[in-house]
Amino acid sequence: MDRDLDVLRRQVSRQVVHWLTAADALSNLEQMASAGAWSQLERYLGVAVRQSLAEAVEQLRREGAVLRARLRACSSAADLRSVQRAVMAFRERYLQTETLVDFYGRAVNSRTSPEQGTILRACDLMATRSMDAVLAPLGVAAPRVLSYFERGLGASILKAGLRLWDGGTLSPAAAIKITFHNRMRPTALIHETGHQVAHLLDWNTELASTLELGLRDIPVDLQKTWSSWASEIAADCFAFVHTGFGSVSALSDVVGGESVFRFIPGDPHPIAYLRVLLGVEMCVRFFGAGPWDELGKTWRETYDVGEAAPGVRPIVTDSLPLLPRIVDLCLRTRQRAFRGRALSDLVDPARVKPEALSALERTVGTSLFVSPPWILGECLRLLALHSLRFAVDPEHGVEVLRDQRAWMMQLGSDKLAA
Amino acid sequence: MRQGVVMPSHLDTERDTSPVALFTPESPFLETAQLSQGEEHGEHPIADRFWETESPFLHDIHALEVSSPLASEFSELLTELYDETFNETVRDMAAEAATLHAQQLTGEFEDRDAATARAERLMAEHFGPLAQMAEQMFEQFAQTFARYDPQSLTEAEIDRLAEQFQPPVGQLSPIFEEFLGKLFKKATGVLKGAVNLVKKGVAAVGKLGLGPFLKKLKGLVWPLLKRVIQFALNKLPASVRPLAQKLASKLLGTQAEAEAGEAAGGVLPATATGEHVQFEFDVQAVQLLFAADEAEMEQFAAESAAAPQQYVDVAGDMDRARQQLTTELSALQQGQSAGPAIQNFLPAALVALQPIAKIAITIIGRPKVVNFLGDLLAKLIQRYVGAEGAKLLSRAVADVGLGLVGLEVPGQSPQRLGYDALAATLENTVTNLVNQPEYVFENETLLEAATLQAFEAAVQGNFPSQLLKPQLQNGEPSSFVLMPRNQRRKYYKKNYPVREVEIVPAVAKEVKTFGQCTLEQFFRDQLLLPDNTTVKAKLHIYEAICGTWLGYISQMETNVGGLGGYSRQAYYQFHPLTPEAAVALKVPGLGMEVPPEYLAGREALAVGQRVYYLELPGQTRGVGSASYVRLEIDLRKGEIRLYIYLSEKRSQEIAQQLRTSGAVAGALQTIAEIVGAFVNTVRRGSVGRAVRVIRETLEPEQLTLPTAAAVIQGARSAAGAVAGAVRSAVNSATNAVTSVAATVAGNVAGAALPAAGGAKAGVGSAIGQAALEWLINKILDWANQALGRWLVDNKDLFIRHASDPSKRGVTIIITFNPSQDLLRRVLLATVFPATLAVPPGRVELVAGPR
Nearest-CB residue to A371 (from B526, B558, B648): B648
pLDDT at B765: 44
CB contact under 8 A, B561 and A43: yes
Q: Provide the terminal-to-terminal Cα distance of chain A, rounded to the nearest Å.
A: 76
Mutation to test the B interface, candidates A140, A367, A368, A415, most B Cβ within 10 Å: A367
User: What is the C-alpha radius of gyration for chain B, rounded to an integer number of angstroms?
Assistant: 28
Which pLDDT score, from 0 to 100, does residue B26 have? 59
CB contact under 8 A, B622 and A44: no
Q: What is the pLDDT of residue A379?
A: 95
Q: Is the pLDDT of residue B73 over 90?
A: no
CB pairs under 8 A between A and B: 85
Tell me if A316 sits within 8 A of A323, measured CB to CB. no
Please give the average per-residue pLDDT across B515-544, as a whole number: 90
Interface test with B, best of A38, A42, A44 (most B CBs within 10 A): A44
Give per-residue pLDDT as tens, B667-681: 888 888 888 888 888
Tell me the residues of A at the B interface, defined by beta carbons under 8 Å apart.
Answer: 42-45, 47, 128, 141-142, 144, 362-367, 370-374, 376-377, 414-418
Quick: pLDDT tens for A320-371. 999 999 999 999 999 999 999 999 999 999 999 999 999 999 989 899 999 9
Distance from the Cα of B657 to chain A's closest Cα (Å) equals 8
Query: How far away is chain A from the Cα of B281, in angstroms, using its nearest Cα?
Result: 29
Q: Is B624 on the interface with A (CB under 8 A)?
A: yes
Q: Is the ipTM of this complex over 0.85?
A: no
A43:B568 CB<8 A: no
- Per DSSP bridges, beta strands B704-705 and B241-242 are antiparallel
- Say how far apart CA B846 and CA B657 lie, in whole Å: 19
- Inter-chain touch B561–A415, beta carbons under 8 Å: no
Q: Give the tens place of pLDDT for each residue, B370-406.
A: 888 888 898 888 888 888 888 888 888 777 765 544 5
List chain A residues with CB under 8 Å of B562: 43-44
Q: How confident is the model at residue B637 (pLDDT cuts 50, 70, 90)?
A: confident
Contact of B717 with B275, CB cutoff 8 Å: yes
Give the closest-approach CA distance of B830 to chain A in angstroms.
45
Please report residues of B whose CB lies closer than 8 A to that of A417.
Answer: 526-528, 569, 621-624, 648
Mean of the per-residue pLDDT values of chain B: 75
pLDDT for the residue A329: 97
Return the residue of A nearest to B807 by Cα.
A371
Partners of B808 on chain A (C-beta within 8 Å) are 372, 418
C-alpha pair distances (Å), A304 with each of A273, A277, A300: 10, 13, 7
B720 confidence band (pLDDT: 50, 70, 90): very low
The reply to whether B568 touches chain A by the CB within 8 Å rule is yes
Q: What is the pLDDT of residue B114?
A: 78
Residue spans per domain, chain A:
2-112, 185-350
For residue B104, what pLDDT is reported? 65
B578 or B306, which is more confident: B578
B622 close to A (CB below 8 A) = yes
Q: Is B100 left (phi over 0), alpha (psi -120 to 50) or beta?
A: alpha
B410 CB near a chain A CB, below 8 Å?
no
Cross-chain Cβ contact B622/A417 below 8 Å: yes
Determine the distance in angstroms separating the CA of A368 from the nearest CA of chain B, rounded to an integer. 9
Q: Strand, helix or coil at B358?
A: coil
Q: Do B623 and A418 touch (CB under 8 A)?
A: yes
Nearest Cα of chain B lies from the Cα of A207 at a distance, in angstroms, of 29
Q: What is the pLDDT of residues B796-846, one digit of tens each?
A: 999 999 999 888 899 999 998 887 777 766 666 555 666 667 777 889 999
Q: Which of A306, A299, A345 is nearest to A323 (CA)?
A: A299
Q: A417 vs B526: CB contact, 8 Å cut-off?
A: yes
Q: What is the pLDDT of residue B3?
A: 37
Which B residues 14-33 touch A at CB under 8 Å?
Answer: none
Positive or negative, the CA dihedral B415, B421, B425, B426 is positive
d(CA B244, CA B247) in angstroms, rounded, equals 5
Residues 507-566 of B with CB under 8 A from A: 526-528, 530, 558-559, 561-564
Query: Residue B648: which of A366, A373, A414 has the nearest Cβ?
Result: A373
**Phi, psi (degrees; rounded to nearest 5) at B351:** -65, -40
pLDDT at B651 over 50: yes
User: Do B537 and B616 form a contact (C-beta atoms < 8 A)?
Assistant: yes
Percent of chain B with pLDDT over 70: 72
Are the Cβ atoms of B569 and A377 closer than 8 angstroms? no
Q: How far off is chain B from A271, nearest CA to CA, in Å?
A: 36
Please report residues of A whose CB lies closer than 8 A to that of B559.
47
- Chain B residue at shortest CA distance from A39: B564
- CA B770 to each of CA B237, B817, B828, B834: distance values in angstroms, whole numbers, following the listed order: 38, 21, 10, 14
**Closest approach of A407 to chain B, Cα-based (Å):** 12
- Which chain B residues are within 8 Å of A142, Cβ to Cβ? 617-618
Banded pLDDT at B54 (limits 50, 70, 90): very low
pLDDT interval class at B56 (50, 70, 90): very low
- Asked whether the beta carbons of residue A366 and residue B805 sit closer than 8 angstroms, the reply is yes
Nearest C-alpha in A relative to B569: A418
Contact B621 A416 (CB under 8 A): yes
Residues 634-653 of chain B with CB under 8 A from chain A are: 648-649, 652
Predicted pLDDT at B188:
93
Residue A249, helix vs strand vs coil: helix
Of these ranges, B438-452, B538-552, B596-610, the one predicted with the greatest mean pLDDT is B538-552
The per-residue pLDDT for B812 is 94
Nearest CA in chain A to B616: A44
The shortest C-alpha distance from B813 to chain A (Å) reads 22
**Are the C-beta atoms of residues B167 and B229 closer than 8 Å to each other?**
no
Task: List residues bridging with B813 in a β-sheet.
Answer: B643, B844
Contact yes or no for B528 and A47 at CB 8 A: no
Residue of B528, B558, B622 lying closest to A414 (CB–CB) = B622
- Cis peptide leading into residue A372 (ω within 30°): no
∠ CA A202-A208-A209, nearest 5°, is 95
- The verdict on a CB contact (< 8 Å) between A373 and B649 is yes
CB contact under 8 Å between B530 and A370, yes or no, is no
Nearest chain B residue to A141, by CA: B617
pLDDT at B404: 43
Cβ atoms < 10 Å from Cβ of B637: 15
- In the 3-class helix/strand/coil scheme, how is B232-255 assigned residue by residue? HCCCEECCCEECCHHHHHHHHCCC
| Residue B309 C-alpha, separation from nearest chain A C-alpha, in angstroms | 36
Residue-by-residue pLDDT tens, chain A, 418 positions: 578 888 898 999 999 999 999 999 888 887 778 888 887 777 667 778 888 888 889 899 999 999 999 999 998 999 999 999 999 999 999 998 888 888 888 888 888 888 888 999 999 999 999 999 999 899 898 998 999 988 888 888 888 887 777 777 778 888 899 988 877 788 899 999 999 999 999 999 999 999 999 999 999 999 999 999 999 999 999 999 999 999 999 999 989 888 999 999 989 999 999 999 999 999 999 999 999 999 999 999 999 999 999 999 999 999 999 999 999 999 999 999 999 999 999 999 999 999 999 999 998 989 999 998 899 889 999 999 999 999 999 999 899 999 999 999 999 887 665 4
Q: Would the CB atoms of B624 and A414 count as touching at under 8 Å?
A: no
pTM strictly above 0.90: no
Of A128, A364, A372, the CB nearest to B528: A372
**Using the beta-carbon criterion (under 8 Å), do B803 and A367 form an inter-chain contact?**
yes
Question: Which residue in A has a C-alpha nearest to residue B805's C-alpha?
Answer: A370
Strands B639-646, B628-634: parallel, antiparallel or unpaired by DSSP? antiparallel
